[in-house]
Amino acid sequence: MSAAEPRTPVVEIRGLAKSYQRGGQSVAVLSGLDLDIFPGDFLALMGPSGSGKSTLLNLIAGIDKPDSGTLRVNGVDITRLSQSALAEWRAHHVGFIFQFYNLMPVLTALENVELPLLLADLGRRERRERAELTLSMVGLADRSSHYPSELSGGQQQRVAIARAIVTDPTLLVADEPTGDLDRVSAGEILHLMERLNTELGKTIIMVTHDQRAAEAAHSIVQLEKGAIGLGAGDGR
């Protein structure tokens, strides 16, 4: 893809609003938010605690529904999908990376990576091969039969990243992926995510508090009380 071409956004957010009920009162978290995310973007969502970063990410990832507004991903307004259609959409289009990895403790590293493929139309052997390949991409081929409890935090997060990309999703969403890691492991994870972005062209949306993490991204969106503050990027 060339920079000269006028690009169409992969995520197109218009007038997005979300509020929560608290103590009988409705508290607006997001109100009238507009945002475009382009294919191959590596976007850092930043902002103070409680500014609605996770809320926005969850809406983009289709695990929560807005009160109003539209949210198009590749032209599909996911706010109009039924719960069941949305689940299917997530299985094909979203890869999740969580702060606390959220691996299944009773499954091995390889089985964890294979898990999302159960929802794809693949044979047993094909699933296994793809999971193995993906696990080796994150440098953990030799840990495939280890359980999460036998892996370090950084290794667990790498397994989680493998799980997120094994289905080749349209979007990778990460909520504070380095929030639970030491500097060295966090650096490794960020490096891995940069490679996914540059080498595989993955579109990544990452919530973070970490300045170093933000530097790894190509653009930063500041969220302030439910609205977009100043955006900063590297000019990509």
Partner 1 sequence: MFLRLVSRNTLRHKLRTALTLLGLLVAILAFGLLSTVVDAWYAGAEGASSTRLITRSSISLVFPLPITYRERLRQIDGVSTVTTSNWFGGVYVTPKNFFPQFAVDGETYFSLYPEFILDDAQYKAFMRDRKGAVVGRKLADRYGWQIGDTVPLRGTIYAGNWEFVVRGIYDGREAKTDTNQFIFHWQYLNETVKRLLPRRADTVGIYILGIDAPDRAAEISELVDAQFRNSLAETLTETEKSFQLGFVAMTEAIVVAIRIVSYLVIFIIMAVMANTMAMSARERLPEYATLKALGFQPWRVGGLVFGESVFMAMVGGALGIALTFPVAEVFGQAMGSLFPIFHVSIGTVLLQIACSVFVGLVAGVVPAVRAGNVRIADGLRAVA
Ligand X SMILES: Nc1ncnc2c1ncn2[C@@H]1O[C@H](COP(=O)(O)OP(=O)(O)OP(=O)(O)O)[C@@H](O)[C@H]1O
The residues that touch partner 1, with contacts defined as CB under 8 A, are: 54, 58, 61, 63-64, 83-84, 87-92, 94, 96, 98-100, 102, 104-107, 111, 114-116, 118-119, 163
CA angle 210, 181, 98 (to 5 degrees): 80
Site for Mg ion in 29-58 (CB under 5 A): 54
Q: Which one among 2, 25, 26, 49 touches ligand X, defined by CB under 6 A?
A: 49
CA distance 182 to 201: 27
Report if residue 54 touches ligand X, rule: CB under 6 A: yes
Residue 98 interaction partner, one of ligand X, Mg ion, partner 1, none, beta carbon < 5-8 Å per kind: partner 1
Pinpoint the alpha helices (H) of 61-182.
Answer: 83-93, 109-114, 124-137, 153-165
Tokens for 188? 């490794």
Q: Cβ closer to partner 1: 107 or 227? A: 107
Single-letter residue type at 104: M
Instruction: Please give the backbone phi and psi of residue 86, each rounded to the nearest 5 degrees, phi first.
Output: -65, -40
CA–CA distances in Å: residue 160 to residues 56, 112, 154, 228: 21, 8, 10, 29
Residue 193 partner contact from ligand X, partner 1, Mg ion, none using kind-dependent CB cut-offs of 5 to 8 Å: none
Binding mask 5-24 for ligand X (x = CB under 6 A): ---------------x-x--
Which residues of this protein are in contact with Mg ion, per CB under 5 A? 54
